[in-house]
Amino acid sequence: MAGKQEIRTAEGAPPVGPYSQGVVVGDFLYTSGMGPLDPRTGEVVGDDVAAQTHRTMRNLGAVLEAHGLTFDDVVKATVHLQHVKEDFAAFNEAYQTYFTRPYPVRTTVGSDLLDILVEIDFVAYTGR
């Protein structure tokens, strides 16, 4: 596909499969689903959803920053929680600290995640 640019940074969670951390197409940056992996070791960080959310958001923030963007540029987030009922409030409290109004639109669903409690992906608008 013409005009597709890969975004990669050592400051974000490393891909664990055949996918990019982020791809820019037109005026949008699409991130992969990221979890709470330490960028240096690839190990899961945090024993609860709040700690895992903070690590996940830092990983996503690194991908945004690698393309000169911030959380203010995010227009859509998709969130997967291992335990929606038990963890939603703690997740939401951690998540909201990264955004100001107007907040991005968001879909939050329960998913069967592998050894993590949260996974998030973003769509960010690059045209300013």
CATH number of 4-125: 3.30.1330.40
For residues 114 and 92, give the distance between their C-alpha atoms in angstroms, rounded to a whole number: 21
The pLDDT assigned to 128 comes to 66
Q: Which residues pair with 104 in a beta bridge?
A: none
- The pTM score is 0.95
Cβ atoms within 10 A of the Cβ of 76, count?
A: 15
112-124: per-residue pLDDT in tens? Answer: 999 999 999 999 9
Cα distances (angstroms) measured from residue 76 to each of 2, 29, 38, 39, 68: 24, 11, 24, 23, 17
Confidence of residue 127 (pLDDT cuts 50, 70, 90): confident
Q: Is the pLDDT of residue 110 over 60?
A: yes
Confidence of residue 60 (pLDDT cuts 50, 70, 90): very high
Residue owning tokens 């940074």: 9
